[in-house]
Structure 1
Amino acid sequence: MFRALTAAAAALLLASCQAHEAAPSAGAAEVAPVLDTPDAVDIHSYARPLEARVTHLALDLAVDFDSKRVGGTATLDIQAKPDAKEIILDDKGLEIESVADGAGKPLAWKVGANDPNLGAPLSIAIGPDTKQIVVHYKSAANADALQWLTPEQTAGKKHPFLFSQGESILNRSWIPTQDSPGIRQSWEAKVSVDKPLTVVMSAPRAADPTESGNARTFSFRMDHPVAPYLIAIGAGDLVFRDLGRRTGVWTEPAMLDRAAAELGDTEKMVDAAEKLYGPYQWGRYDMLVLPPSFPFGGMENPTLTFLTPTFIAGDKSLTSLIAHELAHSWSGNLATNATWADFWLNEGMTTYAERRIVEAVYGPKVAAQQVSLGLDAMNKAVAENGGPTGPDTRLHIDLKGRHPDDGLTDIAYEKGAAFLRTIEVAVGRDRFDEWLKGWFERHKFQPVTSSMFLADIREHLIKGDQALEARLQLDKWVGDPGVPGNIAPADPKAFAEVDAAVTAFKAGNQPAADAWARWTTDERLRFLNRIDKKQSADRMSALDQAFNLSRSGNSEIRFAFLDLAVKNRFDPAVPALEDFLTVQGRRKFVKPLIVGLAEDEQWGRPIAARIYAKTRASYHPVTTRDLDKLQLGKQ
């Protein structure tokens, strides 16, 4: 049971936040409040924002590919209680050179004890007149958020590449600020890089690039307050192509045609999302297609979604990824989980919204199939996280003493989406759409918690209807493990033909070639994910030879088959497995395959050790953090 925040209390809370007194470098029109409730205390940040907080961040940095560092200054506009003696930032390995106030007066500072997950507190002494802090620094050695690629690791093979991944608590390794999603900050940046490289960031350009000697300097400004994990950078040999009146794609020249073709429906998706959830608040919606070592499918950095190239299948069959990242422009970026315990408020809402966008653009059958696949993924996640009584199957998750990425499972995504869909079915789509659009409007550019969600839905949707309250089981969905019995089921007709083929396969029949050719990617995935996990070598060979699964150009299908290959010790697939783990570093694919191999001590672990020794250097720290725990170097 949650201590739900009443609407009146929430209003008083927001009203109690002091107005921002703009310091010289600031120009943001708004400052988001910091929530003063127990469930909004961020255990993954050292910051004490109710005493002193960052409101605006200005970066002036240079990118150095030789030393693999970014360095320069971070100027922080701060807001503090009159009696505050210090402000505490988050730091993970930053090389601090000096700290001063806005007038250049040195400020005392110290770095506290280091925690392997959280890094260390950076405490800076302030006085009642301190409105600005200037930190001279360099990013950490081997900064967790940054990946530096050699020219050989890029598509063009001519120039190096840098990109960042800040979620969940990685940006503290290259930016000195309060790295908590509940402490939203506006920001700006000037970043210099050697010619002919281009810098892009998750904010609109503030000016045209300037040149001096061998350097080019790019300027950016985000006037809306955002969660710090959404500050992102990319630098490399980049070109741009418009996709619509407010959408476009950045990528390496060698990737541009393929990426632009795959992303051709993006403008339609933005239009569909606006009809569902209200105006798009961020100006442009551009995307950056990165080299294949990017650890996620996509990252919803405002104005510039970062994307893995593994979504490029040549037929737009994996572009629900774009719908997902776009939906984050409302759920996650506009209304953001105040702490990582409520990650579902970002991802569950987004997954629900993704399928509504897919339905609007591609039709109800595609959406119904993706709902069904999502429920399969949810059930699998429940089984993998302790079953129906496992504490990590709750939406509001306890992450005390753990890294927030431990909550990055399909519970947040798929149980969260199933919860919202269950409400939609119970109250009717029109009524639920009205509430959800209102939720985003009432909480735009704000941190939110599960308590706020429950209070808002009770005030604006349930409105005292006790029968509806009992039917929805809101507290059970959010706070209890497992999946409540009132879950809205999938459409049984969504995969009728495929499910019949699964049954026939179990009886010894091979899927018909004409049926496989006709099936969509989702239908093929349903088949591969539903057949028995234990298969004979002959059956595995027959599947692979009939449909070329181990070398499929569709990364999701290739992964599904290779996952089966690992489970069945299928030796003929090992070369394809090694190739797949070498050419991309997406955590969704790499982690289960390496872990699956490593868990098989006799057959798989030596294969995992050999592959990981070769590929680890090409993976992002997000991917290697968990895999290093397998100790594959110790055989």
Structure 2
Amino acid sequence: MKTSNSLWAALCAVVLVFSHCSAPDKKEDKTNIQKRIAMNKLVKDHHSYSAPNESRVKHLSWNAEVDFETRIITATATFDLTNADDAKQVIFDVKDLTDYKITVDGKESAFELGEDNPLLGRALTIPISAETKQVTVAYKTSPDAGALLWVDGEKPFLFSQSQAILARTWIPCMDSPGVRYTYDATVKVRKDLLALMSAENPTEKNDTGVYTFKMDQPIPSYLLALAVGDVEYRAIGDRTGVYAVPDMIEAAHYEFQEMDEMLVEAEKLYGKYVWDQYDVIVLPAAFPFGGMENPRLTFATPTIIAGDRSLTSLIAHELAHSWSGNLVTNSTWDDFWLNEGFTVYFEMRIMEAVYGREYSEMLALLSQQGLISENEEILSGDNPEDTELKLSLAGRSPDDGMTAIAYDKGYFFLRLMEEKLGRERFDKFLKDYFTAHSFQVMDTERFIDYLMANLLSEEEAKELDIQAWIYGKGLPANMPKIDSDKMTKVDALAASMTDDSTVSTIPWGEWKYQEKVRFLSQLPEALKAPFMTKLDAAFDITNIGNNEVLFEWLEQSIYRDYEASFNRADKFLVSVGRRKFLTPLYKAFKETGRIDLAREIYKKARPNYHSVAIETMDDLLTK
């Protein structure tokens, strides 16, 4: 794609990772761009102590024993290294690990633990030489390891959540998204439980409780995953299937029947699925996210099992990560939008292919609604720069960047390019992008470089205003418009509601869940408990089985003083650990003068939550 010298000069100013830049008015200059991108030189990640340009992990062999009684994993991690010619040390990220014993090429070695940082943990520094082939770290995890949640019961459960920087709490690692490596593992668990990882997995228990795993494709540490529980497996297609506890396996198998079709449509869009198998495990309700895109084994919340397959866009999202995120990975957490913005775009395309344009547009409208709201909230807060796609998270938790900005502002930026340039042209660019950068990392500046070299002219970049989208605060004026006749009708009906309205005329039973959520969110602010009472009497919304609708109903009920729903909110908050639901509901109680009630509920619920959720709720409810 042709670019002019003036735009090229502007781009050179922001491409900090390259040592030189020249005007692209000659063909060989664009060739140089491709070479520099292919070199994939790692930028410094301020959320990792590791120095991968000196010594980098290329393979991990992990041998572990899981003890539910002590809540400790005892393990050895053996790393095969690639070293620079002048390498003198290898540095791993660790947090709350104990009982270290280090060997270098089979010989016991000294090591140094750096100062403990509450956010980053410590640097584990081991002396090596350029000729060092292998380092082994024996260690134990803490019972309170941040990545791990131990769920009690006759059949206990354990699962990990490594993203963003929690892998270091259960495996010493170079805990940066920019460092990829292959791995194998041997894990010993109770004989009545099954162990699974983000790797090739067993589909049934054995008699020994010892399971072996292999991941031949290189992945970053945040995609290391472990789950141990009394789970069963059901195949859906030749390459797809689901794991769940026995009393949920049939419901999960039914709910995810369209996974195979989603995989086929995804491949039609952007190329072959390279991870061989795509399975989903339904985790306990304490899982803090909707899903986690661990390669070969998506972790999913049970809150998406609605009985009618209505919430499976989450599966489309996690599947899309098999290309955006898992295949081409953000170099640092400052570039998180390259992971999530691309994934939301891909998710919407999968949903359109499987369910139709009207359905995907309703999803897009809800995303835009949430984006506008969160954008306004962030702009009025302490860090308005967090509304920029390119983040600056040094000294802060990467979780601060996990907002609708990365997901939905990123999505609408890509959608804008598709609308302005044409779907055929944009699809070719995106497919080529995934192919050209498979198993590599990408940062924002290099993406701009690639975008200008392969898609946009200077005139197109100016018209799209890509600088405002990527480096500007807030939402640009050329935000794509969503066209949904169904949602337009829902909005009109919601706006017409008064305390005197006859709610029996509302076509509640005919609506998709998106229409129900939209209707509740668009009701006039003046409508309070009396109107909510009528709605609940007509449609029994407090007891609805769809958790997205239930969440919206409970949030609206709190703000509209419908106290009859508060017991349901209490039970929901105690039984569900998904942060997307927890934060707004506790916040609603707090903002309506019910902070004591929020704290009372949280006191009961906190032991059930993962550390990711606890950190957020502690901050929200102690201020």
TM tier, shorter chain? over 0.9
RMSD: 2.0
Match of 2:455 in 1: 461
2:402 and 2:73 map into 1 onto residues whose CA distance is 28
2:244 and 2:353 map into 1 onto residues whose CA distance is 28
Please give the secondary structure, in 2, of the residue aligned with 1:400.
coil
Match of 2:68 in 1: 65
Q: Aligned-pair distance for 1:494?
A: 4.5
1:67-216 to 2 correspondences below 5 Å: 67-103=70-106, 105-151=107-153, 158-205=154-201, 211=207, 215-216=208-209
Choose which of 401, 412, 417 in structure 2 pairs with 1:418: 412
Choose which of 566, 569, 575 in structure 2 pairs with 1:583: 575
Q: Aligned-pair distance for 1:11?
A: 4.1
The answer to whether the 8 A contact 2:158-2:227 is kept is: yes
Aligned residues: 599
Choose which of 250, 257, 262 in structure 1 pairs with 2:243: 250
Match of 2:399 in 1: 405
2:348 and 2:444 map into 1 onto residues whose CA distance is 22
Structure 2 residue 602 is the aligned partner of structure 1 residue 612: yes
Choose which of 343, 347, 361 in structure 2 pairs with 1:368: 361
2:162 and 2:483 map into 1 onto residues whose CA distance is 37
Structure 2 residue 335 is the aligned partner of structure 1 residue 345: no
Residue by residue over 1:446-489, the C-alpha shift from the partner in whole angstroms, topping out at 9 and shown as x without a partner, is 11111122111211112xx3321221111211111111112221
Match of 2:615 in 1: 625
1:470 and 1:13 map into 2 onto residues whose CA distance is 25
Change (3 A) 1:232 1:511: same
Residue by residue over 1:47-84, the C-alpha shift from the partner in whole angstroms, topping out at 9 and shown as x without a partner, is 11111111111100001001101112000111122322
Question: Unaligned 5+ residue runs, structure 1?
Answer: 17-32, 152-157
1:377 and 1:594 map into 2 onto residues whose CA distance is 17
1:221-232 to 2 correspondences below 5 Å: 221-232=214-225
Match of 1:542 in 2: 534
Residue by residue over 1:104-133, the C-alpha shift from the partner in whole angstroms, topping out at 9 and shown as x without a partner, is x11111211111111111111112321110
Change (3 A) 1:514 1:385: closer
Please give the secondary structure, in 2, of the residue aligned with 1:624.
helix
Match of 2:3 in 1: none
Change (3 A) 1:429 1:108: same
Choose which of 378, 383, 386 in structure 2 pairs with 1:385: 378
The answer to whether the 8 A contact 1:207-1:219 is kept is: no
Please give the secondary structure, in 2, of the residue aligned with 1:301.
coil
Please give the secondary structure, in 2, of the residue aligned with 1:306.
strand
Residue by residue over 1:597-619, the C-alpha shift from the partner in whole angstroms, topping out at 9 and shown as x without a partner, is 2344xx41111111111110000
2:500 and 2:203 map into 1 onto residues whose CA distance is 65
Q: Aligned-pair distance for 1:593?
A: 1.1
Match of 1:24 in 2: none
Q: Aligned-pair distance for 1:8?
A: 4.4
Counterpart of 1:395, as a letter, is L
1:349 and 1:335 map into 2 onto residues whose CA distance is 10
Structure 2 residue 33 is the aligned partner of structure 1 residue 41: no
Please give the secondary structure, in 2, of the residue aligned with 1:385.
helix
1:491 and 1:255 map into 2 onto residues whose CA distance is 37
Structure 2 residue 598 is the aligned partner of structure 1 residue 598: no
Residue by residue over 1:351-375, the C-alpha shift from the partner in whole angstroms, topping out at 9 and shown as x without a partner, is 1110100000001110111111111
Q: Aligned-pair distance for 1:227?
A: 1.2
1:387 and 1:449 map into 2 onto residues whose CA distance is 28
Match of 1:271 in 2: 264
Counterpart of 2:371, as a letter, is M
1:208 and 1:255 map into 2 onto residues whose CA distance is 16
Match of 1:520 in 2: 512
Q: Aligned-pair distance for 1:566?
A: 2.0
Question: Unaligned 5+ residue runs, structure 2?
Answer: 1-9, 22-29
Q: Aligned-pair distance for 1:246?
A: 0.5
2:363 and 2:83 map into 1 onto residues whose CA distance is 47
Counterpart of 1:159, as a letter, is K
Residue by residue over 1:8-64, the C-alpha shift from the partner in whole angstroms, topping out at 9 and shown as x without a partner, is 455444665xxxxxxxxxxxxxxxx5x24xxx3211001111111111111000010
Change (3 A) 1:394 1:586: same
Q: Aligned-pair distance for 1:530?
A: 1.7
1:592 and 1:469 map into 2 onto residues whose CA distance is 37
Counterpart of 2:58, as a letter, is T
The answer to whether the 8 A contact 2:37-2:446 is kept is: no
Residue by residue over 1:389-420, the C-alpha shift from the partner in whole angstroms, topping out at 9 and shown as x without a partner, is 92111111111211000011111111011101
2:402 and 2:340 map into 1 onto residues whose CA distance is 9
Choose which of 414, 420, 430 in structure 2 pairs with 1:436: 430
Residue by residue over 1:584-605, the C-alpha shift from the partner in whole angstroms, topping out at 9 and shown as x without a partner, is 11110012212322344xx411
Query: TM-score, normalised on structure 2?
Result: 0.93
Change (3 A) 1:614 1:147: same
The answer to whether the 8 A contact 2:204-2:233 is kept is: no
Q: Aligned-pair distance for 1:534?
A: 5.1
The answer to whether the 8 A contact 2:503-2:534 is kept is: no
Match of 1:28 in 2: none
Q: Aligned-pair distance for 1:207?
A: 11
Residue by residue over 1:479-512, the C-alpha shift from the partner in whole angstroms, topping out at 9 and shown as x without a partner, is 1111111222111534122011112115853544
The answer to whether the 8 A contact 1:311-1:318 is kept is: yes
1:360 and 1:387 map into 2 onto residues whose CA distance is 38
Change (3 A) 1:193 1:434: same
1:577 and 1:224 map into 2 onto residues whose CA distance is 43
1:492 and 1:284 map into 2 onto residues whose CA distance is 35
Match of 1:447 in 2: 441
Query: TM-score, normalised on structure 1?
Result: 0.91
2:380 and 2:486 map into 1 onto residues whose CA distance is 26
2:525 and 2:80 map into 1 onto residues whose CA distance is 56
The answer to whether the 8 A contact 2:83-2:131 is kept is: no
Q: Aligned-pair distance for 1:550?
A: 2.0
Counterpart of 1:271, as a letter, is V
The answer to whether the 8 A contact 1:342-1:397 is kept is: yes
Counterpart of 2:377, as a letter, is E
Match of 2:501 in 1: 509
Match of 2:298 in 1: 305
Match of 1:336 in 2: 329
Change (3 A) 1:142 1:447: same
Counterpart of 1:99, as a letter, is I
The answer to whether the 8 A contact 2:149-2:158 is kept is: yes
Counterpart of 2:392, as a letter, is D
Counterpart of 1:305, as a letter, is T
1:533 and 1:120 map into 2 onto residues whose CA distance is 49
Counterpart of 1:618, as a letter, is N
The answer to whether the 8 A contact 2:595-2:621 is kept is: no
Structure 2 residue 230 is the aligned partner of structure 1 residue 237: yes
Change (3 A) 1:94 1:206: same
1:452 and 1:71 map into 2 onto residues whose CA distance is 40
Counterpart of 1:399, as a letter, is L
Match of 1:477 in 2: 469
Match of 1:56 in 2: 59
The answer to whether the 8 A contact 2:72-2:143 is kept is: yes
Choose which of 535, 550, 561 in structure 1 pairs with 2:553: 561
2:450 and 2:242 map into 1 onto residues whose CA distance is 37
Q: Aligned-pair distance for 1:91?
A: 0.7
Please give the secondary structure, in 2, of the residue aligned with 1:432.
helix
The answer to whether the 8 A contact 1:232-1:301 is kept is: yes
Q: Aligned-pair distance for 1:549?
A: 1.9
Q: Aligned-pair distance for 1:536?
A: 1.8
Please give the secondary structure, in 1, of the residue aligned with 2:524.
coil
